[in-house]
Chain A
Amino acid sequence: MTPPVVYLLLVKALATSFAGLGSLPQIQHDFVETSGAITSEQLSQAVLVGRSTPGPVGAYVVAVGYMAAGWPGAIAAWLAMMTPALAAVPLFVLMQRWLHLARVRAAVDAVVIASAILLLASGFRMAAEAWQQLSVVLRP
């Protein structure tokens, strides 16, 4: 996978998530299931690395980028991680203008709830794969 593709796929995943690990389902879909750029085991390891280091939880995407395309992929992932954060500036302005509208707020709430449900599904998938891996290695 080329670094520009890593960047675009990660921006897509991050721009549609509202929590550190909220991007996990989309990354699982694009990097593991659709393109096969990384294995599900590598994705789990990336999450593990991201959770065991100080700083933003979402930094696990840098490990995903590294595993998919080496150091250039890691740099692309770092840039992708930063890109959605820049939306905070125009959101300041928009928030003052639109957030008092009940429908806009309800739509944002629904996205947050959907993110949580997708995250639960990814968590179950990760646990099942790790358990399977453990049972294969530990089988006498």
Chain B
Amino acid sequence: MELLRRTFIAKGALDETGNGGLVAVSRLTPGTNILAYCVGLGWSLHRWPGALVSLAASSLPASTIVCALAAALVRIHASPVVTVILAAAVLVATLLVFSSAAALLRPYANRRSALRASIVALFCGALLVADVTPVRILLLSAALGACIGGASRSPDVE
């Protein structure tokens, strides 16, 4: 995202205010943030054709590589050595999952937002223990957030 910002600002196709709006929208768009950023960037430059081309360009190369790697993995995973290596790698990847969660929570770790964030987190934890499905947990959390809150600050929404 930073590379895109620098490139497009250098070309004069984007300014800092426009970039701020794109970042905010990408954070609020469901799914993968960088794809939403690219769609917003493409749309702001060439409307729908720009949005669709930038969406394909930002997702196709990585998807092709992921698919090829997944196909290779399916063929080799029967070996015990590979199983050990993969299990160890998954343990490392788990750390990345935790760091993603931490990055999401970090903007709420301030005095102003901490109480509301804790209430939502506890509520969410209770629903998890009660075996409620993830979609329902998200919807119920949104409802709780709308009920209890007003002033907490969204991440990256400036």
A binding-site residues for B, Cβ under 8 Å: 12-26, 29, 44-60, 62-63, 66-67, 71, 74, 77-78, 81-89, 91-92, 95, 99, 102-123, 126-127, 129-131, 133-134, 137-138
Give A116 to B124 CA distance when docked, in angstroms: 10
Using a Cβ cutoff of 8 Å, how many contacts connect chains A and B?
Answer: 304
Give A45 to B73 CA distance when docked, in angstroms: 8
Interface size class of B (residues with CB under 8 A): 35 or more
Q: Which listed residue (B29, B91, B97, B154) contacts A131, Cβ 8 A?
A: B91
B80, CB-defined interface residue at 8 Å: yes
Give A18 to B145 CA distance when docked, in angstroms: 16
Q: Which residues of A contact B14 (CB under 8 A)?
A: none
User: Chain A's nearest CB lies how many Å from the CB of B85?
Assistant: 10
Q: Is the CB of B84 within 8 A of A92?
A: no
Q: Is the CB of A58 within 8 A of B25?
A: no
Q: A114-B124, A115-B104 are in contact. Are A24 and B143 (CB under 8 A)?
A: no
Q: Is the CB of A62 within 8 A of B137?
A: no
Q: Which listed residue (B39, B61, B74, B153) contacts A85, Cβ 8 A?
A: B39
Can you report 30 residue pairs joining A to B where beta carbons are below 8 Å apart?
A17-B30, A19-B103, A26-B134, A53-B62, A53-B69, A56-B32, A57-B32, A59-B62, A62-B63, A63-B73, A66-B74, A67-B70, A84-B32, A85-B55, A87-B29, A88-B26, A99-B154, A105-B150, A105-B152, A106-B116, A108-B28, A108-B145, A110-B116, A112-B104, A114-B141, A115-B104, A117-B121, A134-B88, A137-B83, A138-B84
